[in-house]
Chains A and B, each alone.
Chain A
């Protein structure tokens, strides 16, 4: 599996032309997702399959549709030798470094000594949900997750700012007169139309079943967003904008962060520390459940809304480029 990954990366270097590179990126994402399954990281594999194989190549494709797919020939001669030398030296030094690392899969490696045993042994009793990854993400390390949700939100805002046309106020509106007529592809449309409801339903399942099986807000958000993006790709930007207006999505992105933050503030008001769910119910395990469901919901809403917003921003840029 890993050898396949390396082969894809080598092909990525050799291939000229951005379209082919993007297809290889998608393959690469799918391969690394499969690798994560082998490594027992099912939650990570979920995310990587949706992001690495789906959303990320799609955004690259939209960018390439705007900037053109040509790629200049790489530099030859002495200028080409310098990076190779640099990369080889760095790689060799890093390989020497690995010789001091614990053998792969060893149960007594330092990484398994610190807090991980505590999480594995205590989370079942303290949090009461089987998926340890969700326990750690949404309860023990909820501060970190709040920070990450804020980073995602900020990135969404940054994309909107970077791609907004000069002089725009408020959210964008698509004026139908300027939009190029959309050419439908009937077969793909009919087939995918059947798929989209199931994708959205599956996203909800991943969202609310995340405590018991692999899943959670991050994965659900990405899957939900890819369902919407698929709809947009097949039926054109105006159609999807009518179904889900961009201003609503932008507000939802903020609402998700607010739900997360308010959960923390509510626990403060209840006389406990920030994001300590103990105050939500008398039974500590029930309280943990309430807290985790709330913040996973916040995470899911933000992630889905931000990714849809980013898609809208790129797709509209492409639409304007065409007309």
Chain B
């Protein structure tokens, strides 16, 4: 078994876990969104890696090319990126509102203010 053939997948997992770690371990809401972004990009890389064919060309039809990479993952990820930025900005808008209401974007301080005592 060729170890390098799995390198892409392992990088995806590493990136995914780094993003996951930022989301659960950091209290700052903006930082959490950055972590979520990394997580999201790792999924993009997984799809694009799966669509690659060794020796294939970009899926734009031209004479003299027989082998193309798979266009389907490209379509999915292309739209996912733009949808991703739109939803991230909704998250950021909520962060701005939370800041206006609590005066803080740190999870601990917000939870403290919410504590019923």
Contact = CB atoms under 8 A, between A and B. Distances in A.
Is B a genuine binding partner of A? yes
Contacts of B7: 2, 104
A303 interface: yes
B72 to A, nearest CB: 5
A218 B79 contact: yes
B95 to A, nearest CB: 6
Interface residues of B, number: 81
Contacts of B73: 41, 111
Contact of A91 (B14, B52, B84): B14
Interface of A is mostly: helix
Contacts of B53: 105-107, 112
A122 B85 CA distance: 33
Given A44-B78, A99-B6, A67 B99 contact: yes
A60 B28 CA distance: 13
Given A60-B30, A144-B79, A43 B74 contact: yes
A66 B81 contact: no
Interface in B22-81: 22, 24-28, 30-31, 33-35, 37-38, 41, 44-45, 48-62, 67-75, 77-79, 81
A224 interface: no
Contacts of B48: 35-36, 39, 41, 44
A94 B16 contact: yes
Contact of B93 (A36, A158, A216): A158
A29 B4 CA distance: 24
Contacts of B58: 40-42, 214
Interface in A21-66: 21-22, 25, 28-29, 32, 35-36, 39-44, 47-48, 51-52, 55-56, 59-60, 63-64, 66
Interface in A216-263: 216, 218-219, 221-222
A208 B87 CA distance: 27
Interface stretch (A133-141, A266-274, A284-292): A133-141
A64 B86 contact: no
A306 B83 CA distance: 11
Given A83-B24, A137-B75, A162 B6 contact: no
Given A35-B45, A59-B92, A60-B92, 11 more contacts: A9-B38, A32-B44, A36-B44, A42-B60, A94-B13, A111-B51, A131-B60, A159-B93, A218-B81, A219-B78, A314-B92
Interface of A: 2-3, 5-6, 9-10, 12-13, 18, 21-22, 25, 28-29, 32, 35-36, 39-44, 47-48, 51-52, 55-56, 59-60, 63-64, 66-68, 71-72, 74-75, 80, 83-84, 86-88, 90-91, 94-95, 98-99, 101, 103-107, 109, 111-112, 115-116, 119-120, 123-124, 130-133, 136-137, 141, 144-145, 148, 151-152, 155-156, 158-159, 162-163, 212-214, 216, 218-219, 221-222, 303, 306-307, 310, 313-314, 317
